[in-house]
Amino acid sequence: MPSESESEHDKKPPQCKGRAYYFPNVTDEEWNDWHWQFRNRVTSLEELARFLPIPAAEWDLRKQVLKDFRMGITPYYLSLIDANDPDDPILRQAVPIADEYHYRAIGDEDPLGEENFSPVPGITHRYPDRCLMVISNSCAVYCRYCTRKRIMYEDAVPDFEIDRMVDYIARTPVIRDVVVSGGDPLTYATQKLERVLSKLRAIPHVEIIRIGSRVPVSLPQRMNDPELLEMLEKYHPLWINVHFNHPNECTPEAAKACDKLLRAGIPLNNQSVLLKGVNDDLVTMKALVHGLLKMRVRPYYLYQCDPVRGSEHMRTTIAKGIEIMEGLRGHTSGLAQPMYVIDAPGGGGKIPVGPQYMLYYSPKEGRAILRNYKGKVYEYLEPRPLESYPVPVEEPALVGRSNGNGNGHANGNGCGNGAANGNGATFGGCGGISAPRFDVPVTPARSNGNGRSNGNGRSNGNGNGNGNGRAESEPSAVVGKSRWARRRSTRVVNKDGNGKE
């Protein structure tokens, strides 16, 4: 008789995924050929229904979505989906679902204002020394949450536009770093991509070229093409930013593709997007960053999902992102920590957000109160002019207190712990990992005297009343806001998917 846990297990449907399940008759030669993968992408609901169950009630809704935003799924990426799991994380990234229809009118076409910061079409020049160059509207897989979801109904980028972009960079000497993105530049034929890279490399002030690509994730067979690797190697220093979102994407094929790029001397950094139902939990995110390190890919950014039209169903709260970051820092390798950023609506650029570890900082006092990943609180003292250190300098008596603390108020354990506890209480406890503390003020308490005195309980009793520097005035004017555009009409995608490639 099976034990209870075994019978529980029996109730779970078997996993239906993998190449052997979906594509049993495809030869190795076909499967490993990126052209075959690209040609055989699933682009219609009818084709998709041959592989995955589609709820009857959703058929029309999904059809409607596809009139607005196209679909494209390589056989390889499809094979990662468990056909028995309607909430499969790969499916959610690539397959339109009813929610995409329901929320279709919410959000912005161009949430980052990329087209407003555009000196010539295709270039976004937002930061002083680097720019973004969108050279393609084609991707191997179309991600349902794409920030540039507008590419899903735009036409191919013509060569003359690319030439104008290169020309802009050539006559703008402050640009030393060019991000070549799309769409996906690695879906280009090798010669077509080389045309762009060679022109960029010929510009003396362009120091580094970065390519943003999801191809190692969605079409790793592309890296089976030695010509591509030989070509890329000619344009060093070249970096590639890849885009893995879920540990299920860290497959042997993807690892091999990354290995080939790395062996061509190209450092790989990963940019993930925090996505509801895909990777918005700590266990998944930890498995992802570990999977990346095993492939020698460094986690770089974790993006808060942009409020782009057609992606609303995949957004999470910021608190969720902070909670995940809190669960990574200290708990696992420093190498595994991405930087969590919000790309500011309207074009403010990437803004780091995350758990607050500095609970208090006063440059005037030369003192900071910090907490570590376990919620323990520490005081750090800054250097001072020599004459302000009391003589004789006592041996520091505290654990967890920086040296050079014989500055008068340091009179033993009482002070250190008192300050610490006082702050802890003020902030509603420093322990635990889940409660986001984004309301904790850490603006240095110096300037405008609006530090509210909420006495941080220093045990030496000289309550110094400069509190936590809680800003009582509103932060300065909001400079960029999301727009919740509500569109009535839908645009129709070119049926032939733009006929690139």
Ligand X SMILES: *Cc1c(COP(=O)(O)O)cnc(C)c1O
Residue type for 183, please?
Answer: G
Length of the chain: 501
Q: What is the dihedral of CA 398, 399, 400, 404, to 10 degrees?
A: 40
Q: What is the dihedral of CA 461, 467, 468, 471, to 10 degrees?
A: 170
- Catalytic (active site) residue 126: yes
The single residue listed with the structure tokens 């950023």 is 341
* Number of other CB atoms surrounding residue 438 within 10 Å: 11
237: preceding bond cis by omega (within 30 degrees): yes
Phi, psi of 401 (to 5 degrees): -130, 140
Site for ligand SF4 in 110-139 (CB under 6 A): 139
* Residue 210 engages ligand SF4 in binding (rule: CB under 6 A): no
Task: Let me know: does 216 contact 74? Beta carbons within 8 Å.
Answer: no
Scanning 12-20, 61-69, 169-177, 180-188 for contacts with ligand SF4 by CB under 6 A, the matching segment is 180-188
How far apart CA 30 and CA 36 sit, in angstroms, is 6
* Residue 183 engages ligand SF4 in binding (rule: CB under 6 A): yes
Sheet with 358-362, strands from edge to edge, namely: 358-362, 367-371, 377-381
Tell me 108's DSSP state: B
* Residue 416 engages ligand SF4 in binding (rule: CB under 6 A): no
Which of ligand SF4, ligand X, none does 130 bind, CB closer than 5 to 8 A by kind? ligand X
Least gap, CB of 132 to ligand X (angstroms) = 4
Scanning 121-129, 280-288, 388-396, 487-495 for contacts with ligand X by CB under 6 A, the matching segment is 121-129
* Number of other CB atoms surrounding residue 160 within 10 Å: 7
Which of ligand SF4, ligand X, none does 142 bind, CB closer than 5 to 8 A by kind? ligand SF4
- Choose, from 108, 131, 139, 250, the residue flagged as catalytic: 139
- Catalytic (active site) residue 130: yes
**Which conformational region is residue 366 in: left (phi greater than 0), alpha (psi within -120 to 50 degrees), or beta?**
left
Which of ligand X, ligand SF4, none does 379 bind, CB closer than 5 to 8 A by kind? none
Task: Let me know: does 62 contact 101? Beta carbons within 8 Å.
Answer: yes
- Choose, from 19, 63, 130, 195, the residue flagged as catalytic: 130
* Residue 19 engages ligand X in binding (rule: CB under 6 A): no
Which of ligand SF4, ligand X, none does 144 bind, CB closer than 5 to 8 A by kind? none
392: preceding bond cis by omega (within 30 degrees): yes
* Residue 148 engages ligand SF4 in binding (rule: CB under 6 A): yes
Which of ligand X, ligand SF4, none does 179 bind, CB closer than 5 to 8 A by kind? ligand X
* Residue 124 engages ligand X in binding (rule: CB under 6 A): yes
Least gap, CB of 245 to ligand SF4 (angstroms) = 9
How far apart CA 355 and CA 407 sit, in angstroms, is 30
* Residue 179 engages ligand X in binding (rule: CB under 6 A): yes
* Residue 239 engages ligand X in binding (rule: CB under 6 A): no
Identify the residue among 142, 168, 360, 427 touching ligand SF4 (CB under 6 A): 142
* Residue 214 engages ligand SF4 in binding (rule: CB under 6 A): yes
Scanning 84-92, 126-134, 199-207, 242-250 for contacts with ligand X by CB under 6 A, the matching segment is 126-134
For residue 285, what are the contacts with CB-CB under 8 A and spacing of at least 6? 279, 302, 324, 327, 328
* Residue 127 engages ligand X in binding (rule: CB under 6 A): yes
Which residue's CB is nearer to ligand X, number 182 or number 327? 182
How far apart CA 202 and CA 387 sit, in angstroms, is 57
State the pairing for strand pair 208-212/238-242: parallel
Identify the residue among 350, 470, 483, 500 touching ligand X (CB under 6 A): 350
Q: Name beta bridge partners: 385.
A: none
Which residue's CB is nearer to ligand X, number 237 or number 457? 237
Which of ligand X, ligand SF4, none does 126 bind, CB closer than 5 to 8 A by kind? ligand X
* Residue 497 engages ligand SF4 in binding (rule: CB under 6 A): no
How far apart CA 280 and CA 87 sit, in angstroms, is 13
Task: Let me know: does 440 contact 427? Beta carbons within 8 Å.
Answer: yes
- 3-state SS assignment for residue 308: strand
- Choose, from 306, 340, 361, 458, the residue flagged as catalytic: 306
Which residue's CB is nearer to ligand SF4, number 180 or number 442? 180
* Residue 150 engages ligand SF4 in binding (rule: CB under 6 A): no
- Catalytic (active site) residue 343: yes
How far apart CA 266 and CA 201 sit, in angstroms, is 15
Q: Show the site string, 229-268: x = touches ligand SF4 by CB under 6 A, - = not.
A: --------------x-------------------------
- 3-state SS assignment for residue 130: strand
* Residue 70 engages ligand SF4 in binding (rule: CB under 6 A): no
Residues at the contact surface with ligand X, assessed by CB under 6 A: 124, 126-127, 130-132, 179, 350
Residues at the contact surface with ligand SF4, assessed by CB under 6 A: 139, 142-143, 146, 148, 182-184, 214, 243
Active site residues: 126-127, 130, 139, 143, 146, 148, 306, 343, 350
